[in-house]
């Protein structure tokens, strides 16, 4: 009954990939099955910030950079993340665990500064707790 | 039905979970088991209770006592002292200015001074159980509409109620519906815009997470009124919890026979599908949203034709915001007259604001339209943290503007805010104190727009970029005297020429801060000083390229 759109398909493809991205051959395949041109599929894939056409880490960290977070010193959280992970926005850690991204607003302004790791929300962040959160995520995913 | 001695309501909204709510629930359940009172205490996971900043939250009935900032280690004391011995834990109770405890929820000004229509069930019921929604008169209005009323009657009641679109523009909902209802087409669509993206706004997420059935019921009433049999909920992928609760709610409504063919034995059939966004602010614009549901890039279309005439797949389509839809069952059930007793003549009903920033209690606040900003910030939100002073409130996110102290008594409604040069927007309300730099805030929103502009039209794509360049110059101490004029001139031009509402409103934060805080701009440009001490004048050297933070693909 449920008719899927190309965006749903791309979400599915990306979810299946351990490296959280849209491989070229799968985008081509999606174009064939949907009858949409390859160029348009690529256009959609690169329009939305949650899709990536390059391999990413196992976990996607999205730091909120909305004004409420900005007013609550989110920049310190950003600095700490960059320092611990040794990456910049859009980059993946050497061990392939984390990719650091920014979000325009996660809608968690009351517990600012906030971030999500995959689907899990974290709020009231302080720089001191960041490494513990990351350690737990890594540990839990090994189970 | 099982009778419980105690009901323990745990807020399972995303913000309470983000603050560590998950661990508390587990600990509480373990304690109940340990003392063998699992059969006496009913633990309910509810949606957002509103006072998000003090989360994780727990409310214990029958007393109605609210515990704030609960942690896993508090569970033992709560069970042993309160649940077993009837002695509330004073140290965890909500306190008046940090001293005296409030006896119950109804005594706390934050809750007592609100009027809840949209949030009537949020924080009270388990959003994952349709029976709890039905027990609170859920789906009664749907039954009334499709059994007792003709589609035109439904439109008339909504017109009479004066309900206006809560997504930001404030367009009369009943009138919008009548455009699509008058179209002669076999296929029509009803879309719920749940792509809440305004920085500072999270009321829609709380409704989706806390009371998803109210949105589904609203969509069905709207669908019946305009003659649509299919609905789409377009929800942003950043809200995984809302997506999950919506999926559950749709499934339960189908099982209960409330969604599907011949609903309640009538000729009315209606189905709802979920569509996820993928991270694009512009998709909150209705024509961009339609493109995105169709699986395309979320670029806006030119209007006319308006979606009510030619929208999704070229068919008549009505797009309503989450909060608008959540009002509908109350309007149909209790009538237009009931609804109109709240709010102002031209803006009836209530509005949910997401209070954030430099305020003592941030969270969700629902008040009658026309309530003053002062009442929201000081009476409900508990004022500004000690030692600081109110400087301004931002409404409408990147499309809005700032309300300075001199206008703090302005009624918050669809007429008064535009007169101040801002907009109601979706209800984000970010409070700033003297430590916030207004030029920095304007720059912040412009950077947001530059990142989120879809790139289709030149004024928005290039114009906002040029404005941002000027603002970066000003905040790094290289501003020129003519820059304020340049910003105003370009801002006005972009407003007139951009294709969609994103671009047309993008200059608002800049124009509004220039209007009320010109002296701050001048301090940056002429004195090379940032009065709030935010802007670092040495950090950016001439010609040096600041790190471009947009995620590169």
Judge contact between B75 and B31, C-beta under 8 A.
yes
Q: What's this model's pTM, rounded to 2 decimal places?
A: 0.94
User: Chain A window 6-45: which residues touch B at a Cβ cutoff of 8 Å?
Assistant: 6-8, 10-11, 34, 36, 40, 43-44
User: Chain A window 57-76: which residues touch B at a Cβ cutoff of 8 Å?
Assistant: 62, 65-68, 70-71
User: Chain B window 269-298: which residues touch A at a Cβ cutoff of 8 Å?
Assistant: 271, 273, 275-281, 292-298
Residue A36 has pLDDT above 50, yes or no: yes
What residue spans in chain B does CATH classification 3.10.20.600 cover?
350-436
DSSP strand pairing (B6-11 vs B271-276): unpaired
- Buried/exposed code over B467-496 (b: 16+ C-beta within 10 A; e: otherwise): bbebbbbbbbbbbeeebbeebeebbeebbe
How many of the other CB atoms lie within 10 Å of CB of B29? Answer: 17
Q: What is the pLDDT along chain B (553 residues), one digit of tens a residue?
A: 789 999 999 999 999 999 887 789 999 999 999 999 999 999 999 999 999 999 899 999 999 999 999 999 999 999 999 999 999 999 999 998 778 899 899 999 999 999 999 999 999 999 999 999 999 999 999 999 999 999 999 999 999 999 999 998 899 999 999 999 999 999 999 999 999 988 889 999 999 999 999 999 999 999 999 999 999 999 999 999 999 999 999 999 999 999 999 999 999 999 999 999 999 999 999 999 999 999 999 999 999 999 999 999 999 999 999 999 999 999 999 999 999 999 999 999 999 999 999 999 999 999 999 999 999 999 999 999 999 999 999 999 999 999 999 999 999 999 999 999 999 999 999 999 999 999 999 999 999 999 999 999 999 999 999 999 999 999 999 999 999 999 999 999 999 999 999 999 999 999 999 999 999 999 999 999 999 999 988 644 444 444 444 444 4
CA distance B299 to B454: 6
pLDDT for position B156: 98
pLDDT for position B538: 65
Which CATH number is B6-107 given? Answer: 3.40.30.10
Q: What angle do CA B202, B204, B205 make, to 5 degrees?
A: 65
DSSP bridge pairs for B260: B270
Which chain A residue has the Cα nearest residue B298?
Answer: A47
Backbone angles phi, psi at B306, to 5 degrees: -80, 150
Find the length of chain A. Answer: 143
pLDDT for position B252: 98
User: Chain B window 160-189: which residues touch A at a Cβ cutoff of 8 Å?
Assistant: none
A52-111 tens-digit pLDDT:
999 999 999 999 988 889 888 899 999 999 999 999 999 999 999 999 999 988 989 989
**Packing angle, helices A38-47 and A6-16, rounded to 10:** 70
DSSP bridge pairs for A122: A115
Secondary structure class of A31 (helix, strand, coil)? helix
B291-to-A37, B363, B481 alpha-carbon distances in Å: 16, 33, 43
| Whether B4 contacts chain A with CB within 8 A | no
CB contact under 8 A, A123 and B240: no
pLDDT for position B464: 97
pLDDT for position B548: 42
Complex-level ipTM: 0.94
CA distance B416 to A38: 49
Secondary structure class of B235 (helix, strand, coil)? strand
Contacts of residue B396, defined as CB under 8 A and 6 or more positions apart, other chains included, come to B168, B198, B417, B422, B423, B424, B425, B426, B428, B505, B508
How many of the other CB atoms lie within 10 Å of CB of B53? Answer: 24
CA distance A99 to A59: 6
What residue spans in chain B does CATH classification 1.20.1440.230 cover?
439-538
| A interface test, pick of B11, B12, B13, B15 with most A CB neighbours within 10 Å | B15
Query: How close A86 comes to chain B (CA, Å)?
Result: 15
pLDDT for position B467: 98
Q: Which two tokens stand for residue B457?
A: 């039209």
pLDDT for position B540: 46
What residue spans in chain B does CATH classification 3.40.30.10 cover?
6-107
The CATH topology of domain B350-436 is Ubiquitin-like (UB roll) (3.10.20)
Instruction: Name the residue with tokens 């051959």.
Output: A25
pLDDT for position B542: 44
Query: How close B195 comes to chain A (CA, Å)?
Result: 11
Instruction: Name the residue with tokens 């005594």.
Output: B107
Which chain B residue has the Cα nearest residue A111?
Answer: B53
Judge contact between B434 and B389, C-beta under 8 A.
yes
The CATH topology of domain B130-340 is Rossmann fold (3.40.50)
What residue spans in chain B does CATH classification 3.40.50.11540 cover?
130-340
Which CATH number is B439-538 given? Answer: 1.20.1440.230
Torsion of CA B45, B49, B51, B53, to 10 degrees: 30
Backbone angles phi, psi at B106, to 5 degrees: -70, -15
DSSP bridge pairs for B225: none
| Whether A105 contacts chain B with CB within 8 A | yes
Q: Which two tokens stand for residue A92?
A: 């993946």
Instruction: Name the residue with tokens 């992928």.
Output: B237
Q: Which two tokens stand for residue A76?
A: 């310190």
């Amino acid at each position: 009954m449920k008719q899927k759109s190309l965006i749903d398909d791309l979400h599915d493809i990306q979810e299946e990939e351990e490296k959280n991205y849209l491989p070229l051959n799968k985008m081509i395949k999606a174009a064939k099955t949907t009858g949409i041109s390859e160029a348009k599929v690529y256009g959609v894939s690169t329009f939305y910030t949650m899709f990536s056409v390059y391999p990413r880490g196992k976990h996607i960290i999205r730091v909120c950079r909305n004004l409420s977070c900005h007013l609550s010193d989110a920049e310190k959280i950003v600095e700490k993340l960059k320092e611990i992970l040794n990456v910049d926005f859009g980059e993946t850690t050497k061990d392939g665990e984390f990719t650091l991204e920014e979000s325009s607003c996660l809608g968690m302004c009351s517990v600012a500064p906030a971030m999500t790791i995959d689907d899990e929300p974290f709020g009231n962040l302080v720089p001191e707790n960041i490494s513990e959160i990351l350690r737990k995520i890594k540990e839990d995913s090994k189970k | 039905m099982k009778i419980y001695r105690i009901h323990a309501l745990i807020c399972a909204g995303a913000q309470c979970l983000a603050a560590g709510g998950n661990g508390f629930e587990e600990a509480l359940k373990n304690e109940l088991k340990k003392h063998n009172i699992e059969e006496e205490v009913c633990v309910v996971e509810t949606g957002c209770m509103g006072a998000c900043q003090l989360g994780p939250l727990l409310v214990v009935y029958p007393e109605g006592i609210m515990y704030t900032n609960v942690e896993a280690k508090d569970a033992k004391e709560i069970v042993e002292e309160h649940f077993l011995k009837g002695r509330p834990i004073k140290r965890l109770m909500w306190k008046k200015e940090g001293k005296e405890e409030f006896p119950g929820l109804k005594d706390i000004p934050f809750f007592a001074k609100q009027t809840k229509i949209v949030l009537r069930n949020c924080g009270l019921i388990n959003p994952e159980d349709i029976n709890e929604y039905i027990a609170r008169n859920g789906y009664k209005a749907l039954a009334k509409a499709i059994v007792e009323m003709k589609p035109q009657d439904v439109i008339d009641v909504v017109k009479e109620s004066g309900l206006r679109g809560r997504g930001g523009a404030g367009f009369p909902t009943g009138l919008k519906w009548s455009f699509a209802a008058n179209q002669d087409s076999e296929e029509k669509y009803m879309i719920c815009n749940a792509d809440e993206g305004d920085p500072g706004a999270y009321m829609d997420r709380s409704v989706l997470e806390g009371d998803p059935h109210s949105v589904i019921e609203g969509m069905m009433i709207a669908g019946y009124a305009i003659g649509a049999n299919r609905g789409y909920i377009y929800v942003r992928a950043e809200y995984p919890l809302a997506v999950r609760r919506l999926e559950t709610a749709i499934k339960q409504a189908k099982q209960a026979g409330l969604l599907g063919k011949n609903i309640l034995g009538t000729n009315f059939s209606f189905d709802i599908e979920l569509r996820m966004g993928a991270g694009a602010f512009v998709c909150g614009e209705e024509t961009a949203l339609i493109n995105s549901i169709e699986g395309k890039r979320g670029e806006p279309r030119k209007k006319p034709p308006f979606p009510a005439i030619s929208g999704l797949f070229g068919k008549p389509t009505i797009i309503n915001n989450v909060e608008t839809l959540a009002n509908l069952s109350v309007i149909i059930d209790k009538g237009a007259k009931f609804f109109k007793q709240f709010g102002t003549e031209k803006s009836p009903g209530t509005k949910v604001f997401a209070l954030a920033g430099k305020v003592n209690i941030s969270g969700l606040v629902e008040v009658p339209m026309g309530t003053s900003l002062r009442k929201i910030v000081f009476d409900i939100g508990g004022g500004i943290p000690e030692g600081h002073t109110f400087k301004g409130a931002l409404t409408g996110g990147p499309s809005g503007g700032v309300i300075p102290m001199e206008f703090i008594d302005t009624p918050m409604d669809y007429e008064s805010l535009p007169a101040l040069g801002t907009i109601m927007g979706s209800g984000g309300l970010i409070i700033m104190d003297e430590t916030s730099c207004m030029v920095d805030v304007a720059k912040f929103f412009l950077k947001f727009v530059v990142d989120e502009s879809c790139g289709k039209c030149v004024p928005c794509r290039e114009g906002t970029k040029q404005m941002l360049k000027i603002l970066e110059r000003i905040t790094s101490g290289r501003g020129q005297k003519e820059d304020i004029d340049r910003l105003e001139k370009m801002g006005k031009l972009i407003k007139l020429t951009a294709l969609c509402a994103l671009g047309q409103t993008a200059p608002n934060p800049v124009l509004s801060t220039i209007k009320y805080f010109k002296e701050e701009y001048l301090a940056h440009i002429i004195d090379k000083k940032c009065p709030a001490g935010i802007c670092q004048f040495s950090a950016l050297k001439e010609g040096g390229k600041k790190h471009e933070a947009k995620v590169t693909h």
